[in-house]
Structure 1
Amino acid sequence: MIPGTSVLRQVPVWQSVLARAITDPAELLAAVGLGDEWLPAAQAAARLFPLRVPRGFVARMRHGDPRDPLLRQVLPLAEECLAIEGFGADPVGDLFAMVVPGVLHKYHGRVLLTATGACAVHCRYCFRRHFPYAEANPVVDQWRQALDYIAGDDSITEVILSGGDPLSMSDRRLAELTTRLDAIPHLRRLRLHTRLPIVLPERVNDELLDWLGATRLKTAVVVHANHANEIDASVITALASLKASGAELLNQSVLLRGVNDSTEALMALSEKLFDAGVLPYYLHMLDKVQGAAHFVVEVAAARRLMAELNRQLPGYLVPRLVREIPGAPGKLWLT
């Protein structure tokens, strides 16, 4: 090495893969074999909520099929531009529950940190697609307000890292945050809500596993898969590595029209998750966020699906059908 120079820090593989994500609707349509007739609507909707999807996730889609369940989750459509009554910018009351920047305290014993606004994929049904991340950034003061709030309330035993997606952050920053959470004596559990192991399995690397395995906190990683086709060999490998770190693995899905609103799709998802070491946890009714009304499945239809799942699957493979009500003390179970 030449004196006076320094070794450049190597960019992690996952960051390089993420940097090449598709953000242009024309490129996505070409990649999946759809014609230009889809382009004007996709461009208009992407101006409201930008397109972003990793290429590896696109590779799992059926070529030439506009009804592919993975494509439907990420392709901007004209319906997103419609103003629909009852659909708004803050469908679950996040802003009302924010006690300091980035800290949502909705339920007893646990708080959620919107650790970052960044995500590897922009799901078109995302309930935080309008969330003001710039004004709700806990990193501005190096987490001081957030950590002081948590340390000051000994009823809080669990911290949930969400976003965006917390695994969009570097392992260095996540390790630093986890170390500071470790030092709060009344904390017992750390939960990560993340879609990255599903859409960008390269994210599960040695550095992530090192800090995740080093914390004294009992950890749960709640991944987000909506359809069995999302889980390929690379995802299974990533999930196995997370499980080997000692984390409990759970999955939450959203019930989406045209994606997983059939008994067959939900059964296949539960079976494939369990084969990969993940327990089905929640099946969420769609949060009524502006731009996502075309994904709605009615409650009566959802209950019929759940009744059929209960008839055909063992109980541990049936997720809880839930809806989030702003201001409620917990998720509402729909039985």
Structure 2
Amino acid sequence: MIPAASLALQPDPASGPDPAPAPAALPAPARWQRLWREAVRDPRELLALLGLDAAAAGLSEAAAAQFPLRVPRGFVARMRHGDLHDPLLRQVLPVDAEERIVSGFSLDAVGDGAARKAEGVIQKYRGRALLVATGSCAVNCRYCFRRHFPYGEETAARDGWAGAVAAIAADPGIDEVILSGGDPLSLATPKLAELTARLAAIPHLRRLRIHSRLPIVLPERVDEPLLQWLAALPWPSAFVVHANHANEFDPAVDAALARLRGAGVQLLNQAVLLRGVNDSVEVLADLSERSFAAGVLPYYLHQLDRVQGVAHFEVSDERARALHAALAARLSGYLVPRLVREVQGDTGKRPL
């Protein structure tokens, strides 16, 4: 594995590092790309915007250097001013606790390296292959299980998708492709269309799944070209978004999700159980109800992947089961996500 600091070298969406001013004849960047580049990257600026003190917040410059801060300003606007314990802030702020080395927490907590099928292709479960489409994300979540992933060496796009697509085409047992990363929607839509055009030539593919946090943290990404691409896909498609708290939804997010539904994709939400963010029955119930109100079906509630730097977010299995049981007693069945953990070598997510 390479150090997480290499993530600082990952390109911005589609075009690499911020380019020199484009010639007048070239099209202007899409609005979502401009907002991406305006994201907050300085932890002290983030705290200042919220009226908070860096010392009181436990800010860690070392953690920020190892895994850089990035958070869109629209997501910052949903955080509570003056609240050190705001659940959205806790998900993105680099703090001292990340520097502790805790037994049982590793660089590759879920066995991505061992499941490598080809460059940028991971296969852990029968019938499904995951494409690491890019290393870029619009927001760097502090609990990210791929915060130490060697994106510089392992992205499916490195050779114009050829190696990744060839590996999937050579295995007729694969009938579903999962676009992941990083965040696949950090790629420009023409790049996504190039990939799916190649995949469409593989006769044994039956489904496409897209995992993206962008509709939540940067809803402007759901623009007309993206919707046209989704509507034209030749397979039934599932779109898995990622929200951990009801406060992550606002009218702009609701509108983006409505547009995705209009493009014909099935919307699901997966969340991670995080101490100090959503480890209460009330918060989890609010999340399920709010996501369903936005047209998104609760899907998974993941126990934390035990990657180095995230131990301060961990909730015990005993506590997780108690929360899940209380949630099931409170909500209609379709609002209760499955409580799972990913275990290296298992044939699927392990129910808890």
Q: Normalization by structure 2: what TM-score?
A: 0.92
Contact 2:52 2:83 (C-alpha < 8 Å) held by counterparts: yes
For residue 76 of structure 2, what is the aligned residue in structure 1? 58
Hey, what's the Cα distance between the residues in 1 that align with 2:57 and 2:152? Answer: 30
Where in structure 1 are there 5+ consecutive unaligned residues?
Answer: none
Q: Does 1:239 align with 2:257?
A: yes
For residue 129 of structure 1, what is the aligned residue in structure 2? 147
Q: Does 1:99 align with 2:112?
A: no
Q: Percent identity?
A: 60
Q: After TM superposition, give the deviation of residue 137 of structure 1 in Å.
A: 2.1
Q: Does 1:286 align with 2:304?
A: yes
Contact 2:87 2:277 (C-alpha < 8 Å) held by counterparts: yes
For residue 179 of structure 1, what is the aligned residue in structure 2? 197
Of 34-43 and 295-304, more deviation after overlay is shown by 34-43
Q: Does 1:206 align with 2:224?
A: yes
For residues 254 and 40 of structure 1, do their structure 2 counterparts lie closer, same or farther at Cα, with a shift above 3 Å needed? Answer: closer
Contact 2:57 2:84 (C-alpha < 8 Å) held by counterparts: no
Hey, what's the Cα distance between the residues in 2 that align with 1:250 and 1:9? Answer: 34
Deviations 1:256-315 (A, max 9, x none): 000000000000000011111100000000000100000000001011111111111010
SS of the residue corresponding to residue 322 of structure 1 reads strand
Q: After TM superposition, give the deviation of residue 157 of structure 1 in Å.
A: 0.6
Hey, what's the Cα distance between the residues in 2 that align with 1:186 and 1:92? Answer: 27
For residue 13 of structure 1, what is the aligned residue in structure 2? 31
For residue 162 of structure 1, what is the aligned residue in structure 2? 180
Q: After TM superposition, give the deviation of residue 40 of structure 1 in Å.
A: 7.2
For residue 116 of structure 1, what is the aligned residue in structure 2? 134
Q: After TM superposition, give the deviation of residue 42 of structure 1 in Å.
A: 2.8
Hey, what's the Cα distance between the residues in 2 that align with 1:26 and 1:309? Answer: 37
For residue 141 of structure 1, what is the aligned residue in structure 2? 159
SS of the residue corresponding to residue 326 of structure 1 reads coil
Hey, what's the Cα distance between the residues in 2 that align with 1:6 and 1:168? Answer: 24
Deviations 1:78-106 (A, max 9, x none): 00011111101100000100111110010
Contact 1:61 1:71 (C-alpha < 8 Å) held by counterparts: yes
Amino acid at match of 1:170: A
Contact 1:160 1:190 (C-alpha < 8 Å) held by counterparts: yes
For residue 48 of structure 1, what is the aligned residue in structure 2? 66
SS of the residue corresponding to residue 111 of structure 1 reads strand
Contact 2:59 2:93 (C-alpha < 8 Å) held by counterparts: no
Amino acid at match of 1:135: E
Hey, what's the Cα distance between the residues in 2 that align with 1:76 and 1:326? Answer: 27
Hey, what's the Cα distance between the residues in 1 that align with 2:59 and 2:230? Answer: 42
Of 141-150 and 254-263, more deviation after overlay is shown by 141-150
Corresponding residue to 2:329 among 311, 320, 324: 311
Hey, what's the Cα distance between the residues in 2 that align with 1:272 and 1:42? Answer: 33
Amino acid at match of 2:72: P
Corresponding residue to 1:24 among 23, 39, 42: 42
Amino acid at match of 1:285: Q
Hey, what's the Cα distance between the residues in 2 that align with 1:41 and 1:17? Answer: 25
| Pairs within 5 Å for 1:258-269 | 258-269=276-287
Hey, what's the Cα distance between the residues in 2 that align with 1:233 and 1:42? Answer: 33
Contact 1:26 1:39 (C-alpha < 8 Å) held by counterparts: no
- Name the Cα RMSD after superposition: 1.1
Hey, what's the Cα distance between the residues in 2 that align with 1:195 and 1:113? Answer: 16
Stretches of 4+ moved more than 4 A in 1?
A: none
Contact 1:325 1:332 (C-alpha < 8 Å) held by counterparts: yes
Where in structure 2 are there 5+ consecutive unaligned residues?
Answer: 1-22
